[in-house]
Structure formats: C-alpha cells, structure tokens
Structure 1
Amino acid sequence: MTIHSTATHDVWLTKRLALLKAEKEHTRRSDELARMRQELPWVKLDKTYRFDTEKGSATLADLFQGRSQLLVYHFMFGPDYEAGCISCSSIADSYDGFAVHLANHDVMLWTVSRAPLAKLTAYRKRMGWSFPWASSRDSDFNFDFDVSFTEEQQRQGRIDYNYARNAHALDLDPVPPPVVEFAARSGTDPATFGRDRPGLSAFAREGDDIYHTYSTYARGLDGLWGMYQWLDRAPKGRNEQGLWFRRHDEYAKA
C-alpha cells in the first residue's frame, strides 16, 4: 500500500496547475540565467596549454577543431585513479548523443582529465563511449581552472573550488562515507580522489585569440546530468539511498 497522499483527479488537477505556474516561472528564470551567462565578459587567455590526444600533442586552440566555441568537461580521473569517477561517468553517458548536435551548432565538446591518455582511452572503451578525451597531465590547465589541486594545498587547507575555499564535501574532516566509497570505486583513497574535481569550462575563439567565458562546478553541473532530469520527474524522484547509482556496466553486478 502506498504511503503517499492520494486524491481525486479534480484535486490532483488543482495542485498540478499550481505546480505548472511554478514550473513556468522556473523556465523563465532559467532563460534569464542563460542570458546572464552569455553576457559575462570574456577573459583573454595568455597561456598556451598542451594536451595529449589520440592524434598527438594538441593545444587548446587545436581542440576547437575549426569551430568558434569549445566546451570542456573536467572529468574526475586523476593520474592515480584506476577508473573514472562514478558521477562523472554517469554524466558522460549522454555525451555521444548530443555532441553531434553541438558540433553542428559551431560548438566542440571535449572531456579533459589528468590521467595518462592510455588510461582514459581504455576506460572510454570499457564504457562504450566515443567522444574525444584529452589528457592534461603535463599541463597547468586543470590547476588554472580550479579542478585540480596539490597535496600541499590539501595539507594547508587552500582548496578554492566552486568559487569558495574548503566548501565542498571532499574537503570535510572526516570525509563523508559516500566520498570514501566513491574514492574506493575509483581505485584510490579519499585524499587522492579529492585532488581532482568535476567542472565545465567554456571558451570562445576569435582569430588567434582564445577567451575563457564561463566555468561551473559541483551542483552547477546538475543541468548536464541527464539522469537527474528524468528522475526528477519520476514518482519517487532520485530516491538517494546509499550509493544509489553506479557505472552503467556495474548494475548487473550489484
């Protein structure tokens, strides 16, 4: 027997119309936020970043592949991880489907991580993905865009992530149990796991000039998480109990 409230259709419709009003307000607010993102000033980059790709060494300019816009997903896969972060893996499950649409809208999508390229391509093969993935292990890229940190920064409590200092679950002491489990499932310890973080950065190119236009982190990535958008409309929502999701090839093993 359900423990959720029940009602007649007429009562349901009254509440649904009230919800519809709130949903429309949310949609209009989302449109406003999109405009605000696009109105942010651009910051010209004065450093050349290099990446390892399947086609050899590449600069950030090369990642545009002739397009004027570039989106980079900062995937949590540090040099000492054995597998990519479960959360980032869930988000990445949708990339192949919409990357072609972005490309035809003058936007190139790349995923970048600090793990060696061989680890990244092996994991991508395991997951059945095909989107381009670059290694930034010999570059300042991750550090400059606040998604990777040094052991010294950890020890000194100088982690500036999501525009705040030491304000993330990975920075808590003790580390929350779910973070410990996520780290273990990536084949590493919580401290090592926490030296890489998720994020999205956007860039624009005009001639030979490249500009940083936007970055978002942590819950700012929820909108990219296709699974969330569906579950938020399911009767029981995300139903977040314990480690409530896994890599897509691990469910049968659960």
Structure 2
Amino acid sequence: MKELVIPKIVDRDEWERARAELLVREKMHTRAGDEIAAVRRRLPMTRMEVVTVVGPDGPVLLRDVFQGRRMLIVYHFMWSRGAPHDKQCEGCTHSQVAMNAAVCAYLAERDVTYAVFSAGPWSEIVAYRDFMGWTAPWYSTADSSEVLATRTGGDLRCYLRVNDEVFETYETKWRGIEAMLPTLQLLDMTAYGRQETWEDSPDGWPQDQAGSWWRRDGRPVAQWTRTNATIK
C-alpha cells in the first residue's frame, strides 16, 4: 500500500503564523466576492416571454412557479429520458442534496422560491424526486418554449416577478453553481482538498478525476442513503 504523504509538521507558533498569513488572503477573497455580488445586483434584466412548465397540477405559467413570491431560483436538472434512477446525473444529484426543506424555508424568508426544472417527462422526474426524498417543487420543461432550454442541464437561473411579468436577472453554469455544493467548500478547508487532479496540491497528494467520486458502485453517492438495492 502506497504511503500517504502528509503536510509538514511544525510547532504551534509556526503553525499560527502560517495560518495568520493565509487569513489575510482569505479576507481579501471574501471582500472580492462581496464586490462581485454588488455588481451582480446591478445587472440589468431581460423580459421573459409567456411560457409554461408542467407540474403536479398540469401546465402552469412560469409566473405561478414563484408561489406568490417576488424572486425565483431555478436549477436545471440534467435528465436521461427513460433511464433508471441509478443512471441519472450524479452531478445534478449532488447539487440537490443540500437543497432541503430548511434551506428553502430560509430562502422564502427573503421572498425567494426555489424550484427544479428538467427536460425529462413529468412522470419520470417526479418519481426521481420522490425516490430521493426531496421536497422542493419540480417541473418538466419537456414541452416548454426554447427560452427555458439549457445546454443539457446543470444551469442555475434567477428571475424577478413584477406584477404579472417575469424577468431573468442572472444565470450561471459549470463551477458557477458551486454555491449549491457545500461539500466542495468544506473539502477546500481540509488538508487534501477535493483530491482532484486539476487542483494545485503538493506532490504526492491523493487525487483523481474531477467528479469521479460522485458515483459509487454504479449509483450517484446520495442514492445509497435511500436504497440498498444492488445494480443489476
């Protein structure tokens, strides 16, 4: 078995000096994020055409997805039509794990509704949501206007409702959705980080391909909290 490489061992005083040096950079990073968020709040917005999605009560207008609130955050879940649960996207599954009822309740306190859209058929996507035990509202965009289309999924979009009109205010994808993945931020604080090959880590640190650990024994990792069924 390969010997595990570990960080340099120093006395407490040296460790605290190194930690203090890093803290200066961490505070700069936080303030830079605040500045970017300030610019984001000043973005213009663009009017959405009238568009419908399909939910538990059939087709509904996009403005009704707000559930009476002013703002809406939508995650677009990548879907493999007709595939069993274990074949659905491990990355999108990972992104939803932290979006529990408590998180959505806190968003609602700031007049924000969270919802998931997917290009899959309603019957398939609601079956997956229920299998995972998620409570956020999901909607199918399989028959919606192209204005709701994404590359394949994994995008995050924000909307504002003004009376009966809906405007898109922001969108992001790829690493831009990492705010939904607290697992990654927590791993960034550990000695070995995310343990992925793209990271700038010392020689000998454990690493494999990005996202390779999001699936285990044929299933997205989170599914093993819901079932013990083996893959056939």
Q: TM-score higher than 0.5 here?
A: yes
Amino acid at match of 1:53: G
TM-aligned CA deviation for residue 207 of structure 1: 1.0
Matched ranges for 1:46-85 at <5 A: 47-83=49-85, 84-85=88-89
Q: Match of 2:46?
A: 43
**Number of the residue aligned with 2:91:** 87
Which residue type is aligned with residue 239 of structure 1?
Q
Structure 1 CA distance for aligned equivalents of residues 188 and 74 of structure 2? 26
Contact 1:74/1:199 (8 A) holds in 2: yes
Q: Say if 1:78 and 1:113, in contact at 8 Å, map to a contact too.
A: no
**1:204 corresponds to:** 160
Does the CA-based 8 Å contact 1:79-1:137 persist in structure 2? no
* CA separation of 1:218 and 1:80: change in aligned 2, threshold 3 A: farther
Q: Is the 8 A contact 2:141 2:148 kept in 1?
A: no
Alignment gaps of 5+ in structure 2: 197-207
**CA displacement at 1:79 relative to structure 2:** 3.1
2:219 matches 1:250: no
Cα offsets for 1:129-150 (capped at 9, x unmatched): 111000000012xx435514xx
What are the equivalent positions in structure 2 for 1:1-254 lying under 5 Å apart? 2-45=5-48, 47-83=49-85, 84-96=88-100, 97-140=102-145, 143-145=146-148, 147-148=150-151, 196-240=152-196, 241-242=208-209, 243-246=212-215, 247=220, 248-250=222-224
Could you tell me how far apart the structure 1 residues matched to 2:223 and 2:66 are?
Answer: 31
Distance 1:222 1:29, change over 3 A: same
Q: Tell me, yes or no, if the aligned pair for 2:74 and 2:156 is still in contact at 8 Å.
A: yes
Percent identity between the two aligned chains: 32
Q: 1:213 to 1:78 in 2, by over 3 A?
A: farther
- 1:198-223 CA-partner distances (Å, limit 9, x unpaired): 11000001112211100001111112
C-alpha contact 2:118 2:153 (8 A) present in aligned 1:
no
Instruction: Write the letter of the residue equivalent to 1:217.
Output: K
Equivalence for 2:205:
none
CA distance in 1, matches of 2:184, 2:6: 24
| Separation of aligned partners in 2, 1:126 and 1:64 | 24
Structure 2 residue identity aligned to 1:245 = W
TM-score by length of 2: 0.82
Structure 1 residues 16 and 113: CA distance shift in structure 2, 3 A: same
Q: CA RMSD in A?
A: 1.9
Distance 1:81 1:105 in 2: 37
Amino acid paired to 2:224 = E
> Could you tell me how far apart the structure 2 residues matched to 1:68 and 1:207 are?
9
The corresponding residue for 1:169 is: none
Aligned residues: 204
SS of 2:60 mapped into structure 1: strand
Instruction: Provide the secondary structure at the position in 2 that maps to 1:249.
Output: helix
Gaps of 5+ in 1: 149-195
Q: 2:201 maps to which residue?
A: none
Secondary structure, aligned partner of 1:109: strand
Deviation at 1:5, TM superposition (A): 1.4
